[in-house]
Amino acid sequence: MSTEDIIAKALRPEVQAKATAGMAAVINAKGELGALGFGHPAPGSDEPLSANAVFRIASMSKSFLAALAHVLHDDGVINLHRPVDEVLPEFRLLWNGTPASVTVHDLLSNRAGLPEDNAWGDRNIGMSRDDFAAMCEAGLQLAAAPGTSYQYSNIGQAIAGAVIEEQTGETVDDLVRELFIEPLGLTHTAYRPEELPADAVVIGGMRTFDDGKTFTPEPFVGAGALSCIAGLFSTIIDVSVWMRYLSAGFERPDARPQRLTQESRREMQSAHTVIPLTVEQSQRLSGLGYAHGLVVEQHRRFGRIVQHSGGLPGFSSHMRWHPASGTSVVVFGNSDSFGAGDRAREILDSVLAEQEVTDAAALWPPSLAAAERVDDIVCGGRSFDELGEFAADNLLRDVPAADRQRKLDDLVAEVGAVAASQKPFSERMRSTGNAAEVQWQIACENGSLTCTARMTPHFEPLLQSVAIVKTAKTS
């Protein structure tokens, strides 16, 4: 299936019915963009939607706040690990009635203990800085001990923005514009519609309470103290540039050097707070966490995927990318009922599957070669002695070849003979997120085996362990 067909399938008629305008785009490793839109710029218009249509991207703005915090940390202007109360002593956070101390790192990682506040935050982005400060000075209750658990807090990240403004004497809006929007050429990205170019076509928000039968225009929420966490307007073109810029943190060498170092980009895309998986998520993911202004998934097949959603009354947005392949997706809809996250996930998973992408791109070549040799031995019914030059000196001393074969025979007695025909190795791999570790499955008559091969860290890595178990059933 072509990329265009994948996007069209995701934006099928019943999906389009949930918004009056929307866009979806896939960007490949070369920066080539394929996009599809539906609807019109405004009610009553017959003009088609263009890739320069401006939507509000809501909480996708948090990645810009986090990037700014990292630049300022690297420059020594702020310290991500300094207690906030040392910078803003008048802000009061209380855990069980006792003053609590948190850091900017805690706030950006959604681990400060502040409770989830989306419903309130969505309507208060335009709160003045004075009113926000007064609210924080009056005291904020923590729902969990600082640093112990994930809770998505808009107020928390806005406090991180307040720390930045206190220590720089400038607004987050101005600093983001100076350090990222202008240098990266994000010409149609701004915190306020009036800051956009004269030719910008800004899509208005809509709300529906009857599954798209009728829509009501939703006025833009204003700009204020919480703009730093959900205020930006942008286009699929500008967001595609931003995704590629962040993803470049995993490249060698960095083809797009800017103020934000590769190390900081990687830290922004490394999970700091565990997000518990739902049963449905566990079918696709082996791990999920909040980083700094971004969410990191560990996909069972594709490996690391970085993403963030945005939602406000009248808007739904989502961006996600696969650093190993350089593929990214962005989806916008002008209704909070649109479900941009589901659409973006469907598109990226389908594109990666169509390209037969796996996490193998992140593996050391010796890791893949050793795993394929183990696979050949198991599927071919040969001896583990044939691991030969791949094996570290401990491997067959820890568990001799004959004992490995006996254990394998016991497993085969449970799951049936190894199937004569197997899918290509790349399709049987499961992500580990580790260049030195490969995990894959081998189909059998009445089940399957899961194999894990681990390499040593030597300059020329060797196979130090092989584990083969019966594949666990997922509920």
130 located within any domain: no
Of 357, 375, 395, the one marking the end of a domain is: 357
- The pTM of this model reads 0.86
pLDDT at position 358 is 67
279 located within any domain: yes
Does residue 302 share a domain with residue 192?
A: yes
334 located within any domain: yes
pLDDT at position 474 is 47
The dihedral over CA atoms of 203, 209, 211, 216, expressed in degrees to the nearest 10, equals: -30
User: Reduced to 3 states, what is the DSSP secondary structure of residue 55?
Assistant: strand
Which regions of the chain are under pLDDT 50? 474-475
Alpha-carbon distance of 84 to 352, in angstroms, equals 42
Residue 443's domain comprises 361-470
Does residue 294 share a domain with residue 175?
A: yes
pLDDT at position 123 is 92
User: Reduced to 3 states, what is the DSSP secondary structure of residue 318?
Assistant: strand
| CA gyration radius, the chain | 25
Alpha-carbon distance of 154 to 133, in angstroms, equals 14
Reported as half-sphere exposure (CB side, CA atoms, 13 A), residue 450 has a value of: 10
pLDDT at position 1 is 85
146 located within any domain: no
234 located within any domain: yes
371 located within any domain: yes
Angstrom distances, CA of residue 122 to CA of 154, 218, 312: 9, 12, 6
Does residue 369 share a domain with residue 346?
A: no
Residues 427-444 as b or e (16 or more Cβ within 10 Å = b): ebbbbbebbbbbbbbbbb
Does residue 432 share a domain with residue 458?
A: yes
Does residue 419 share a domain with residue 342?
A: no
CB within 8 Å of 438: residues ≥ 6 apart: 363, 367, 368, 370, 371, 429, 432, 452, 453
Alpha-carbon distance of 287 to 18, in angstroms, equals 30
Alpha-carbon distance of 333 to 313, in angstroms, equals 11
User: Reduced to 3 states, what is the DSSP secondary structure of residue 231?
Assistant: coil
Of 332, 357, 382, the one marking the end of a domain is: 357
Does residue 344 share a domain with residue 406?
A: no
Does residue 400 share a domain with residue 353?
A: no
Backbone angles phi, psi at 391, to 5 degrees: -85, 135
Backbone angles phi, psi at 436, to 5 degrees: -100, 5
pLDDT at position 131 is 97
What's the total number of domains in the chain? 2
98 located within any domain: no
384 located within any domain: yes
Alpha-carbon distance of 412 to 446, in angstroms, equals 9
Does residue 242 share a domain with residue 187?
A: yes
Alpha-carbon distance of 371 to 432, in angstroms, equals 13
Asked if 304 and 433 touch (Cβ cutoff 8 Å), the reply is yes
Backbone angles phi, psi at 60, to 5 degrees: -60, -20
Residue with tokens 């300059």: 459
Does residue 386 share a domain with residue 341?
A: no
Alpha-carbon distance of 71 to 65, in angstroms, equals 10
Assign residue 315 the CATH number of its domain.
3.40.710.10
Does residue 345 share a domain with residue 434?
A: no
Asked if 371 and 379 touch (Cβ cutoff 8 Å), the reply is no
Give me the sheet containing 201-202, strands edge to edge: 201-202, 53-56, 233-234
Does residue 383 share a domain with residue 311?
A: no
Of 336, 357, 378, the one marking the end of a domain is: 357
Enter the tokens of residue 209: 């309470």
pLDDT at position 256 is 52
Does residue 296 share a domain with residue 268?
A: yes
Alpha-carbon distance of 149 to 276, in angstroms, equals 10
Assign residue 456 the CATH number of its domain.
3.10.450
